[in-house]
């Protein structure tokens, strides 16, 4: 028992040290370190050596991250990039990044994060304000709206890596058989779905993401915006979810299910379920992101190879076509504790270079964020169809300019999901969404 006693004492001493150390972290005033760093680091980020850690969840196709790293290391042979694979669930991914950075970890240096993170990460000091280092000329090259989406209180926190947005995927063969055009309004989409289902050409009409989760907020934004509605005011102090436009949007979404144009199962569908149903040849229309193209054209995943078309999302009749697509995609952020900010910047700048963006867009059919690359690829005949369509769509960002966006979105998707599955009326669901959204905007539960 003697050695155990010794261990105990030394552990106690260590624990004491830990408690002291961590309480000093707890009590440390915040906000000083990043500004201190900004003055000491070369603003242009011209470092050409060192080792940095890049935290990124898997991108749709296997090998993208490593291909990018290899190309980068070829351009900067003295920089080594360590890839750490992040969880694929975006919420879990965020919680891990937050735990590491708020815990004082100097790694990861650069992390790939969702486009809806900037306000929250900026407000909590969990990301470096990149606009302190990178001049406005750097930001000018990105496609419109992307940089604005990465801003919080006048500073840009994320450098757009690749963009994503909603598309309408349809079965060319079925539409041809039934002599139907590609739908341009939501009403037309519903009608064509019903026709195809009634004629037994297909099992289900239109599948989309109706489960109680972030994806439903994305889908809802598309209906709401094409109905002319908004979620909040510009200052993010007041939610407008009980509006006539929101009622029109959600009533329509509900009517897709009640009419039979969409299966009842859409209220439990996320991207994978909707995709699988479409790939199995069981649905005529699919609302999904960019990856769905490649997925539907992979023979090992899909029975509808060669039968799929891509179009912009429809709008409500009486509004101009095309409708709106919700912006998704990923940005690169820097950990405020990173010891290699100059090297991090070199990496981030290279990731928005023509070379990197072309790899993303051409080799892996992700939508580039740099406007010139995007246009160049879309102009080529061989470009993946979604990238061609992306050149003509209209985009809408989620109301993520507030640090309370996650709670706001929860208020939206939980209540709308309840309306979609019929457990509450559309009207009362939206009234409850509005009151919960207002609580969320003020920082409440």
Partner 1 sequence: MKFQTHTGLKKWVNLLNTSVVLIVLFVALPLYWLIASSFKTNVGIGASPPQYFPDPLSIANYQSAFVHYDFGIYFRNSLIVAIAATFLVLAIGSLAGYALARLPIRGKTAIMVILLMISLFPEIAVVSPLYLVMHNLGWIDSYQVLIIPYTAFNLPFAIWIMRNYFLGIPREMEESARVDGASPLRTYWSIILPQALPGIFTAGIFTFTACWTEFLMALTFDNSNSFRTIPVGIALFGSPNVIPYGTIFAASVVAVVPIGILVFVFRRFVVSGLTSGAVKG
Partner 2 sequence: MTRSMLENATANETPPPTPDQQVTGHRRRTTRIGWVFSSPALVIVALVTIFPIAFSVVLSLANVTVTGNGFQLAGFTFSNYSEIFHASVWRYALVFTVFYTVVTVAVEVILGTLIGLVLERLTKGRGLMMALLLVPWSMITVISAELWQYIFDGTYGVMQAIFSAIGLGQPQFLGTPTSAIISMMVADIWKTTPFVAIIVVAGLVMLPQEVFEAAAVDGAGSWTTFWRVTLPLLRPTIALAILFRILQAFGIFDLPFVLTGGGPGTATTSLAVLSYRTMFQNLNYGAGNAIAVSASVLVLIGCLLFLKVFRAQVSDA
Query: Which residues in this chain contact partner 1 in the complex, by CB under 8 A?
Result: 14, 17-18, 21-22, 25-26, 55, 57-62, 84-90, 92, 96, 99-100, 102-105, 107-108, 203, 271-272, 275-277, 279-280, 282, 288-289, 291, 295, 300-303
Q: How far apart, in whole angstroms, are the C-alpha atoms of residue 175 and residue 340? A: 55
The least CB distance from residue 205 to partner 2, in Å, is 12
Q: Is 159 in the site for partner 2 (CB under 8 A)?
A: no
Q: Is residue 436 part of the contact set for partner 2 (CB under 8 A)?
A: yes
Residues 415-434 interacting with partner 2 (rule: CB under 8 A): 415, 417-418, 421-424
Q: Does 129 bind partner 2 (CB under 8 A)?
A: no
Q: Output the smallest distance, CB 110 to partner 1, in A.
A: 14
Decide whether 135 or 443 has the Cβ nearer to partner 2. 443
| Least gap, CB of 204 to partner 2 (angstroms) | 7
CA distance readout (Å), 52 to 1, 46, 81, 345, 353: 45, 14, 5, 11, 19
CB of 295 to partner 1, least distance (A): 7
The residues pairing with 162 across neighbouring beta strands, listed in sequence order, are: 330, 368
Q: Tokens 């509900």 correspond to what residue?
A: 254
Binding to partner 2 (CB under 8 A) within 238-297 occurs at 263-265, 267-269, 273, 276-277, 280, 282
The answer to whether 143 touches 186, Cβ cutoff 8 Å, is: no
- Report how far residue 400's alpha carbon sits from residue 412's, in angstroms, rounded to the nearest whole number: 13
| Contact (Cβ atoms closer than 8 angstroms) between residue 290 and residue 167 | yes
Binding site for partner 2 (CB under 8 A): 1, 4, 8, 11-12, 15, 18-19, 22, 25-31, 33-34, 91, 94-95, 98, 101-104, 120, 124-127, 204, 211-213, 263-265, 267-269, 273, 276-277, 280, 282, 336-337, 403-404, 406-407, 410, 414-415, 417-418, 421-424, 436, 439-440, 443-445
């Amino acid at each position: 028992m003697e050695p155990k006693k010794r261990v105990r004492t030394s552990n106690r001493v260590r624990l004491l040290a830990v408690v002291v150390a961590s309480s000093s972290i707890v009590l440390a005033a915040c906000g000083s370190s990043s500004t201190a760093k900004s003055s000491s680091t070369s603003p242009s980020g011209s470092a050409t050596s060192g080792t940095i850690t890049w935290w990124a969840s898997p991108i749709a196709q296997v090998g993208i991250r490593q291909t990018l790293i290899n190309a980068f290391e070829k351009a900067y042979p003295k920089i080594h990039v360590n890839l750490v694979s992040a969880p694929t669930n975006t919420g879990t991914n965020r919680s891990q990044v937050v735990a590491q950075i708020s815990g004082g970890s100097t790694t990861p240096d650069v992390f790939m994060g969702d486009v809806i993170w900037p306000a929250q990460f900026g407000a909590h000091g969990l990301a470096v304000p990149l606009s302190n280092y990178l001049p406005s000329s750097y930001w000018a090259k990105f496609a419109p709206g992307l940089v604005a989406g990465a801003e919080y209180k006048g500073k840009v926190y994320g450098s757009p890596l690749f963009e994503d947005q909603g598309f309408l995927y349809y079965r060319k063969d079925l539409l041809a058989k039934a002599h139907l055009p590609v739908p341009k309004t939501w009403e037309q989409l519903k009608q064509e779905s019903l026709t195809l289902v009634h004629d037994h050409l297909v099992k289900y009409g239109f599948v989309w993401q109706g489960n109680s989760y972030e994806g439903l907020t994305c889908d809802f934004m598309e209906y709401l915006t094409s109905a002319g509605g908004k979620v909040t005011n510009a200052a993010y102090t007041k939610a407008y979810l009980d509006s006539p436009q929101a009622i029109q949007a959600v009533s329509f979404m509900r009517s897709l299910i009640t009419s039979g144009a969409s299966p009842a199962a859409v209220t439990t569908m996320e991207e994978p379920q909707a995709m699988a149903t479409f790939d199995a040849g069981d649905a005529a229309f699919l609302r999904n992101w960019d990856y769905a193209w490649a997925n539907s054209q992979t023979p090992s995943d899909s029975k509808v190879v060669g039968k799929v078309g891509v179009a912009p999302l429809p709008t409500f009749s009486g509004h101009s076509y095309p409708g709106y697509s919700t912006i998704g995609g990923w940005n690169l952020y820097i950990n405020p504790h990173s010891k290699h900010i100059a090297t991090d910047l070199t990496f981030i700048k290279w990731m928005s270079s023509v070379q990197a963006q072309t790899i993303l867009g051409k080799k892996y059919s992700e939508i580039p964020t740099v406007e010139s690359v995007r246009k160049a690829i879309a102009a080529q005949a061989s470009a993946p169809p979604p990238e061609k369509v992306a050149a003509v769509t209209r985009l809408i960002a989620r109301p993520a300019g507030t640090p309370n966006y996650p709670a706001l979105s929860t208020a939206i998707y939980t209540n709308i999901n309840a309306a979609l599955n019929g457990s509450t009326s559309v009207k009362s669901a939206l009234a409850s969404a509005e009151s919960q959204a207002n609580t969320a905007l003020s920082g409440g539960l």
